Amino acid sequence: MTVAAKTVVDSAREIIQDLLVPELKAIRVEITSLRSEMEIRDQSMRNEMEIRHQSLRGEIEMRNQSLRTELEMGHQSLRTEIERGNQSLRAEMEVRGQSMVEALRGLEQRMMEGFQHLSEKYDLAMNLRERLAALEARQEAKPN
């Protein structure tokens, strides 16, 4: 290449560098500025998301606690109701049991009275039989 051609190429290079380098530096500064803005926005978004996350977590925990309390109250209410029912059943069973015991005692008393009456009748029948046998023996012993 000749010196004149080198000078033209060098001149073109200088012109391109004079025009492009300041633009490239301006673009680099703008990109750096945009990166900084994006990092600030990202950090802001992260902070906001963390705050919302903590808020939601708090709400969920409060609702869970509320549900636990409701369930515990319902459970306690059911226990109380079941215990009342059990007490009522126990009382009714005791009353019926006492009634049955009294009925059995009455039945036993009547049976004992019946056995006593039967025993008295048996004794009377045996007594009559013995007398009858004695009378028959006398009758046979008498000579006609």
State how far the Cα of 130 lies from the Cα of 119, in Å rounded to an integer: 16
User: What's the predicted TM-score (pTM) here?
Assistant: 0.44
User: What is the reported pLDDT for 3?
Assistant: 66
For CA atoms 47, 52, 53, 54, give the dihedral sign: positive
What does the DSSP 8-state code read for residue 142?
S
Structure tokens at 94: 């005791």
Residue-wise pLDDT for 21-41, tens only, equals 888 889 999 999 999 999 999
Structure tokens at 25: 């530096």
State how far the Cα of 98 lies from the Cα of 87, in Å rounded to an integer: 16
Low-confidence ranges of the chain (pLDDT < 50): none
- Map tokens 């073109």 to a residue: 12
